[in-house]
Amino acid sequence: MITFSFTGWSNSGKTTLITRLIKEFKRKNKTVMVVKNAPHKYHLEPESKDTFRFLEAGSAEVYLVSKKEVLNMRKIEEDKEIFDIIESKLNDFDILLLEGLYRDDIPVIEVFDSKKNDQLRFSVDNLSAVVADRGITKEIPCFKINDIEGILKFMEDYCG
């Protein structure tokens, strides 16, 4: 399975890159699971809404269903629980992309925009590659933001 975590400063282009990768993997008939971390206190529904109230009352899971979408919500006590949830779903997917969520055994690609920041967010020692608007390092692979084919090939080769 191809699994990568993406990091970068706010508004560096992480979501745009991940969206482009999803489209390309889908074109190759691969199924993709994406997990987006919301690092600040965040409620998927306002406290006055039903799904929030169901979770607060003690429901183990709540599903919010609309005409063409479903959102599964559950309370977690510890951050590491999210990886248990993710791992329980992995058999259904070919690709797992994480944005802003990290674990030591998952390679990390940083997205970097030199117009917005002076330096990488993570040390290159903690990264597998960088995707940037210009060459930022020679220590690890560095891809241009529009080199989607190159990034995909790197990801596929890296994960065997």
Domain residue ranges of the chain, discontinuous segments joined by +: 2-158
Q: At 33, which helix (H) or strand (E)? A: strand 32-36
What pLDDT shows up at residue 129? 97
Q: Dump pLDDT digits (tens) for 105-156.
A: 999 999 999 999 999 999 999 999 999 998 888 999 999 999 999 999 999 9
- Taking each helix axis from N to C terminus, what angle separates 148-158 and 14-27, rounded to the nearest 10 degrees? 80
What pLDDT shows up at residue 61? 81
CATH of domain 2-158: 3.40.50.300
What pLDDT shows up at residue 63? 83
By the 8 A CB rule, do 140 and 152 touch?
no
- pTM reported for the whole predicted model: 0.85
What pLDDT shows up at residue 106? 94
State the virtual CA torsion across 102, 124, 130, 114 in degrees, nearest 10. 110
The CA distance from 106 to 2, in Å, is 10
Phi, psi of 153 (to 5 degrees): -60, -45
Which residues lie across from 72 on neighbouring strands?
A: 63
